[in-house]
Structure 1
Amino acid sequence: MRPFLISIVVIGLLVAYNSVFVVPEGTRGIVLQFNRVVRDDDGQTRVHSPGIHFKIPFINNVKILDARIQTMQTAEQRFITRESKHLIVDSYLKWRITDFGLFYQVTGGNGLLAENILRPRLIDRLRSEFGRLDVKEIVQDSRSRFTAVRDILNSGANEVSDEEIVDGELSADAINLSNNARMRLSEIGIEVVDVRIKKINLPDEISDAIFNNMRAERRAVATRHRAQGEEAAVRIRSETDRETAIMKSKAQRDAQILVGEGDAIAAKTFADAFNQDTGFYSFIRSLRAYEESFKGNTDVMVLSPDNEFFRYMKQPETYLAPQ
């Protein structure tokens, strides 16, 4: 009897264990019955929020799906702008599940499969957007443009004109026209929350060419500045040399004037002295002539003894007498 009761208890515990399931925070749970999604009376998928829930044991299975916003990274892609410039773009996309039952039916609950559907659509849409814009527009209006990319991806549109984008949002007419274009993301049970660009670079070959052009332009500017500097330096030196020559000529002129005035004063002084005492004046002049003539022991002067030059050496007293 006791083994039977033990078996009943064990079976009861197994039934109770298989009747309860826990949905963690940040996830949602859907119940499967024979691998089919269980729906309510309105035909909507029964989605279980975080917490403890019950199910039919051994018949129902529970699939836990992530309800948080997911980030899909993309590899760097080369896009061509309207002015035929190549850009290397690194972008990412954020998405989340909106219909957990539909998402499970389409992807089997595999988020990688959903991203494989999203990734080519994002690349195609970005290629189309970059192709209709130039670099300046991409930089200035990138936020609104990528908001429109999000709406286009959600609506399933293939091509949207600029007129169908109003204030960065896809117009209602464009969304209605795109309903039959191709399968929308809502038919997969997901939606795009945001599209962002992490960085935009130029290809290496274009970057090198741009840098070389920049170097050439800077070199040309530097050469022009050097030439202008040399021209200014030559002009300044020429003006300085001209001013220097003028100043020197004026100084020489003033010096000649002063020398002439000095010579005139000296001549007048000598003349006045000569007029006062001609004998003494002649005597002083002769002494100065002797001093200038005989400066060294090796000086030799060949003159006749009767020459007038030696008159003050012969009888100097006779010439010092008052006249």
Structure 2
Amino acid sequence: MNKIIALVVAVVVVVLVASSAVFMVDPRHVAIISSSGGANATLAGPGLHVKLPPPFQTATFIDTRIQAFDAPDADRYTTSDKTELLVNPVVRYRISDPLKLFAATKGDAQTLSDRLASLSRDALGDAISKVTLTEALAQQEAIANGARDALRQTAAPLGIDVIAIELTRVDYPPELAQTVFKRMSAAREQAAAEIREKGAAEAQQIKDDAERKQQGVLADAYAQAQAIKGEGDGKAAAIAAEAFGRDPDFYRFYQSMLAYRESFRPGDVIVVDSSSDFFRFMRGPNGGATGGDNASASATPRKH
């Protein structure tokens, strides 16, 4: 009976030793096989592997997929114009060299998180310290890319390849929010005033240009009108001269009629000598006289 019990115990021990010596690595991970204290670390890829049972050798599994590190709380960062911001970054990375990572952290996940938090804080703080508040709010992607490049260099000794940094929060501390909002409002009002002033100046310039063009058009129109008027007066004089040459008596009669129409207005009281040459065509169609017709045709009465 004792032999049977001893045999069972031996079998159980062998099974336990065998189960701790044989292990499987899936394609999403690699295993670091190390001796006591992390010495003599070797890399084991996906598949079935054999190692010495603990405490002689241990297997530490490392995820080689893309992972994300998100700080639990937002940190404070200071811009170049001494304004504080609350920023919460998400770091996406991949473990590219598991042996380096194991040498630096001994496979401890908390140590890796602490190191990433410290390095990402330094990289992001340096990037934000180079820009003003306005630039930090408007150029978040550029800031994140700059911090990513810096973190990629500092994280390389850990065997980590930094893929991207995303800023999930960029905000003001509560005690500074009202002050910053007032400053931003004042800046926007100043920018709006400058735009309105520029618009008014441009409008005045357009108005001045339009007035100059208007004056030019009016001057050209007046010159053309004067030229046409002069041409018409010339033609009228030529026609008048031709009419006078054909029938001097009728021309004098017509001119006297025009003078009557221009001289007499409704309501006027005119005192004249009825025998004046100005009224000779009222006494007869030939003017009632034979001489001095040219002078009398142009005579005008005086109004009293």
TM-score, normalising length: structure 1:
0.48
Partner Cα distance (1:9, 1:105) in 2: 37
- Mapping for residues 142-221 of structure 1, pairs under 5 Å: 142-156=140-154, 185-211=155-181, 214=185
Partner Cα distance (1:33, 1:60) in 2: 4
Q: Which runs of 5+ in 1 are unaligned?
A: 40-44, 157-184, 222-323
Partner Cα distance (1:60, 1:115) in 2: 25
Task: Please list the CA deviations of residues 112-161 of structure 1 after superposition, one character each: whole Å capped at 9, or x if unmatched.
Answer: 212222223322222221121123433443323322312212223xxxxx
2:122 matched to 1:124?
A: yes
1:16 to partner: Cα distance: 2.9
Amino acid across the alignment from 1:63:
T
Partner Cα distance (2:39, 2:87) in 1: 40
85, 88, 92: which is aligned to 1:87? 85
1:8 to partner: Cα distance: 5.7
State the partner residue of 1:62.
59
State the SS of the aligned residue for 1:83.
coil
Amino acid across the alignment from 1:145:
I
State the SS of the aligned residue for 2:81.
coil
Conserved 8 A contact 2:137-2:170: no
14, 30, 33: which is aligned to 2:32? 30
**Structure 1 residues 110 and 5, CA gap change in structure 2 (3 angstroms):** closer
Conserved 8 A contact 2:70-2:91: yes
1:20 to partner: Cα distance: 1.2
Matched pairs, number: 184
Partner Cα distance (2:148, 2:82) in 1: 25
Amino acid across the alignment from 1:202:
Y
Task: Please list the CA deviations of residues 47-72 of structure 1 after superposition, one character each: whole Å capped at 9, or x if unmatched.
Answer: 322x4322234543211223331413
Partner Cα distance (1:194, 1:209) in 2: 33
User: Which deviates the most, 17-26 or 194-203?
Assistant: 17-26
Q: Which runs of 5+ in 2 are unaligned?
A: 193-304
**Structure 1 residues 47 and 146, CA gap change in structure 2 (3 angstroms):** farther
Identical columns (%): 22
Partner Cα distance (1:212, 1:148) in 2: 30
Aligned-residue RMSD, C-alpha:
3.3
State the partner residue of 1:291.
none
Conserved 8 A contact 2:152-2:161: yes
State the partner residue of 2:261.
none
Task: Please list the CA deviations of residues 263-307 of structure 1 after superposition, one character each: whole Å capped at 9, or x if unmatched.
Answer: xxxxxxxxxxxxxxxxxxxxxxxxxxxxxxxxxxxxxxxxxxxxx
State the partner residue of 1:173.
none
1:197 to partner: Cα distance: 0.8
Conserved 8 A contact 2:95-2:159: yes
7, 18, 21: which is aligned to 2:20? 18
